[in-house]
Amino acid sequence: MRRRRWSQHFLRDPSAARYIAELVPPGLDVLEVGPGRGALTIPLAERARTVYAIEVDRRLAELLRKTAPPNVVVIEGDALEVEWPRADYFVSNIPYSITSPLLMKLARHRMPAVVTVQREVAERLAAAPGGENYGRLTVAVQCHYEVEVLRTLPPRVFQPPPRVYSAVVRLTPRPPCVEDFDGFQRFTAWLFSARRKTLRRLGLGEGDRRVYQLSLEEIVELYKKHM
C-alpha cells in the first residue's frame, strides 16, 4: 500500500539507467531517493564513492541490502521525513505523488541533482514567464537552480509503464535569489494562488501585468519590497 501511495514507476531499461548514472561525476557521495529494485543504484555504485539509497518500502530495502555492492548504504524510511545524509549529488526517479515536496526539500539542501520526473513537470521547472507552465514550482526551483531538460523517456522504460512520458532534468545550483527560504515560499504560494490577477488588484503596484507574466527577478523585488 505504501508503494502505491507513492505512485512510483520503476526504471527497468539498462541503457536509460546508465545514461542517468553517467551524468553524475565519478567519485562522489550520492544520495538516491526511491531506488526500488536498484536498476539505477547499481550503475551509480560503479561510479560513486558511496550511494545512500533511501527506500520507503521495507521489502525493497531488504532486497537491495542483499543485492547491492558494499558501497551502497540503504536507509529505510520516507525521504520527506528522514534526515538526509551529507552527500555531494542527488539522484532520483521521483515518485509522482511527492514530486513538489521532494523538490522543495532538495532546494533547501542545494545539492546538484539529476532527477526523472513527468515531462509535464519538467516543462514547469524550465518554464519562462508568461506561459501556462510557469508557476510557483518554477520560481521555487529556479530561485536555487539552473534547469536543463536533457532527455525524454518513453513509458516503456518503466515498470509498470506510466500513461505519460517522463524527462531527465539536471539541476545545477546557483546563488539563491533570496536568503529567507521559508518566507519566499510563503510569499510565492500566496502570489501564485492568484496567478492571473494583476499587480494592481493584489495591491502590489499600479501596473496591469499579471502574476504569471512576472520574471523571477521581478518577483524577488516584490518580495523584498512588501515582506
**For the chain, counts of helices (H) and of strands (E):** 10, 9
Beta strands 113-118; 72-76: pairing state? unpaired
Look at residues 48, 36, 40, 3 and name the one whose alpha carbon lies nearest to residue 19: 40
Angle at 92 between CA 90 and CA 96, to 5 degrees: 140
Length of the chain: 227
Q: How far apart are CA 93 and CA 127, in angstroms?
A: 21
Say whether 63 counts as a known binding-site residue.
no
Say whether 179 counts as a known binding-site residue.
no
Say whether 78 counts as a known binding-site residue.
yes
Say whether 93 counts as a known binding-site residue.
yes
| Residue found under cell 505523488 | 97
Say whether 55 counts as a known binding-site residue.
yes
Q: Which residues contact 205 (CB under 8 A, 6 or more apart)?
A: 199, 222
Beta strands 113-118; 89-93: pairing state? parallel
Say whether 13 counts as a known binding-site residue.
no
In this structure, what C-alpha cell is assigned to residue 33?
531517493
C-alpha separations of 202 from 33, 198, 216 in Å? 39, 6, 18
Annotated binding-site ranges: 9, 11, 34, 55, 78, 93
Annotated binding-site ranges for S-adenosyl-L-methionine: 9, 11, 34, 55, 78, 93
